[in-house]
Structure 1
């Protein structure tokens, strides 16, 4: 693990040794501070990172020393928080008991986080990080958007956190929300001046709890009853305005003429949906499922990744295919009604991750949730230059693809609309079969040697924009070359980066 900089232990201990504790007692800073105790810090680091550790890395989280983890691979809680409140600067500084071991034999990492600290004045979370027998003190893990309630605070991972977690992609990424609450508030608030009636004395009770630096004075303060989960922030009406996506579906047909070309046209091939994706009957659209990601309806931003893959295969000759294209790891990112659709693209065994296939434009720039569900229908998708390369030049940049339908649930009990894809043939899993089929479990295959699937527009119509004289195998060969040369870094063995 690369060396991590910025050790920032308080200097008070050193100064006390040099000058004596009495010298510190008379300073104005110490006179303004009052002790705090019995606080808890709840933070999940980042949901996608937890999924990676316990999923792809086949690893584990092991809390100890008073730290705990919520069920179902949830957030972590560090208890026994003690520290100080500065009534002059309104800074809350707390240190917490417990440690968290994160390990994976498969991916070769073993690290421990301990001495977790929250400083509202510096607006950050730090921890000691131990790895390979070496400990780095006070590593800044996340910048925090501090609020007075100290519940559901936004976090953003630091460069040092990216080093600790083993991926540069985490630098600047949104972390899980942070909550800091007092579990057993004292009956009388501490008073640094000895006067319990002083209006400036910090009190961790519901009436006058510490107001951290940068917070809004009108917000209610934390109390023992406020053990709000850090999963989302909320508006004054109680409706969640930002947080993690609980579930969701993406409906997209890629392009109807391309599906027709593969199944009923010169490719004489088949389309296979798998891994949680399905295809509507009659060679219809695809539905990708199990969305994860984040949303913010105030900022009108959303990022959702979906499970499932779809494979287009055709131009078979002696058991080999000139066209063998797979799209997986689909991700939609929107900001103010516009955004991108990305996917991992594999062609003839060569893979490029996170290719921006299409620019997206929604009818409205506003993200609105109804019954804890955000739904967007008929989002316009236009092919990008990288997307055109991924399709081997079969379509040109700017070509309008099939529209995108998106529904994401903001809570576990939210009801998503029935998703049947909006394909030509209505609902179903693409029951047509043909060819030799792919090994493994799939959600349905359309096409093959027969003509199962939609023929709307006909073969001539499907190829009108590109020329009907595309030679057999040209699409697959061109796709392989362009993916390798122009669509990003390609690796022979696919290594999926978490969304």
Structure 2
């Protein structure tokens, strides 16, 4: 199997060389016979796959992911993208075999595991995704394990090759640390060409597939049947054009020209002065995705509640705080904004009391030349401390520019401070990346803010989703982050090998008790 899979990259290069030289046949490669004339080289593809959301949540809770060498991870502990995909397209069977660049390491110093994925590959004919996998027990008690071309998931291949359903394999459970993953639904998989060719005509081709001088099929693999059984595909068949229109993943797709700011062009705001008082504003922040999942999971068995005008997106999502007050100075690139609303995290219930009871309110963001802080009033187990600096902020740009009377600063990096770590009971260490912050503030009363991320627009006191229904306490979330065969459904999916010895399991099960004990010891002491 390894020889067959590693053949595709070499074959793609050989086909391209033969095309340039005008050759009519290829010499045998790696023991293979003469390459089929139906195979055309492919390049510049991307693969996006999150493996499994509960796996990302688990790793994010106790460790971290590091993507490099061509791999990236979406914000908020999102899916992974592997780049520079090359391989072949079989114009007869209408299948692709692609290999991607990128290295992904998931690791936890606390639980002594490290899992590395490289050489990620997608074979639409076989309907599977594979990778080279190395697992390391950092205690040294278990030998390092390596596997080439490990089948991680079966893929329900579709013509478009976007959002394809995946099912994790037995091998995925073996290498990722939980036998419970075998047969479980993985995250959807998307494979797309990164950029459309510059010579693509403005109107799609009206005839069947061709393989022009570049060797690239103009119909593209995503416009073809992938199982070799055309009768199971739409009647349009292989004459569909290559999806060079915006049929791509969120990481690579072209944004809609109407969605750049979210502000309404039909109601222009009056010209605001360079500095003054804010008229309104919203702040979007998820605190930390793994923390939200932990609270409603089978360990804390708790719930998340918003109040005071705050809202939470469906599926135990991020929070939106509203009604900003404060000041701005676009010439000096300074902004100070305080927002209404509160969020409460509650878990580890025992006898009517909670080991975890944390409320964040009165959030305040400051920016000065692109850097700043995020602070909040913190109430932990009945002890309130005002103005705790939870995170250091760093925007992608230091410029504060207003468009139609609105300043929008999205994806502001947030890093947990020492005071913030204390507020969370040292659940996370200072320097931990928190969810990014999105800010939109109105400089005049007639300026229109973009829609918030929260699904609860009532401004009431909804819980985990903002619909007034309680989510949590049973190890489930409405959005499937936890539950439904994931880590929190029964507890059996927590990666045993990843946790190491029985002591590792005790760390997880006892996390709430340790948290509660630590917080009770420090009651009456003010947070920094």
> Normalising to structure 2: TM-score of the pair?
0.42
Q: Which has the larger radius of gyration?
A: 1
> Normalising to structure 1: TM-score of the pair?
0.44
